[in-house]
Amino acid sequence: MQDVQNQRDERQVPIDQVGVCGLRYPIVVLDQAKEKQQTIAELSMSVSLPQEFKGTHMSRFIEILNSHRNEVTMWTLPTILHDLKKKLHAESAHIEITFPYFLERKAPVTEAAALMDYECTFKGTSNGKGDDFILSVKVPVTSLCPCSKTISDYGAHNQRGHVTIEVRVTDNEQGEPNMIWIEELIEVAEASASAPVYSLLKRADERHVTMQAYDNPVFVEDMVRNVAVRLQDEARVAWFQVNAINQESIHNHGAFARIEWTRPEQ
């Protein structure tokens, strides 16, 4: 059969990225407590396309993904990217994998257990400059306004927000990427806020969380700084970006803060 994709394109314009997006697929990721966790990811995969080719081979993206779906980690991502470049004859490849990651969380007083989901993303790129990998975790939190607490006779406005942490890791002595667990970044994000968010709270738990938030008021500025201090002290982190967003309860707008940092070369 005729291969239209391999036909010559006379316009001679290279394409930076071409591929598939919005693809849902079951994958297996590493779980700190249970070793592995099955989840459903939404993926985009792309490669560069030289100016002489009319199109890429879309089916090969799915074939490559299917061959690696039994484990998707920072160690397997380079292999996926290299396979994309090799089988699609491309100089660069990119993959983005977003998935819900589930943890069993116990309420602070009654210890009533329920699952919480956290939005996680793996971003990987391979090109002439080498391989790049970013782990992103989006964590829901509670924040209570320090200003509102200070100026009010009683109470203070609070709201749900999100802290998103993106990290690049350093390499170990063997030249392999250091491991940072999703759970570790969740803990850092929650500790930066006034209180964590839970799926299940009984009355005693709700009382505890409400008072915990009141005792730990933070602005969005405080949250990103709290995360930054923790990550700067973590030798496994080579680069990070942290974003905090509050869905303000007394305003018709949100509030956000962002910090980006790169570890200085030794």
Asked if 145 contacts 219 with a C-beta cutoff of 8 angstroms, the reply is yes
Asked if 164 contacts 139 with a C-beta cutoff of 8 angstroms, the reply is yes
- Please provide residue 166's backbone torsions phi and psi, each rounded to the nearest 5 degrees: -115, 135
> Minimal CA–CA distance to 94: which of 29, 48, 40?
48
- Please provide residue 62's backbone torsions phi and psi, each rounded to the nearest 5 degrees: -70, -40
**CATH 3.40.50.10470 for domain 15-262:** no
What pLDDT was estimated at residue 8? 66
What is the rounded CA–CA span in Å between residue 137 and residue 189?
A: 9
Beta carbons within 10 angstroms of residue 169's beta carbon: 21
For residues 197-215, give the mean pLDDT.
Answer: 98
What is the rounded CA–CA span in Å between residue 193 and residue 186?
A: 11
What is the rounded CA–CA span in Å between residue 245 and residue 259?
A: 12
Per-residue pLDDT for 2 more than 70?
no
How confident is the model over 39-81, as pLDDT tens digits? Answer: 999 999 999 998 888 878 899 999 999 998 888 887 889 999 9
Q: Per-residue confidence at 6, pLDDT binned at 50, 70, 90? A: low
What is the rounded CA–CA span in Å between residue 237 and residue 255?
A: 27
How confident is the model over 116-168, as pLDDT tens digits? Answer: 999 999 999 999 999 999 999 999 999 999 999 999 999 899 999 999 999 99
Asked if 178 contacts 156 with a C-beta cutoff of 8 angstroms, the reply is no
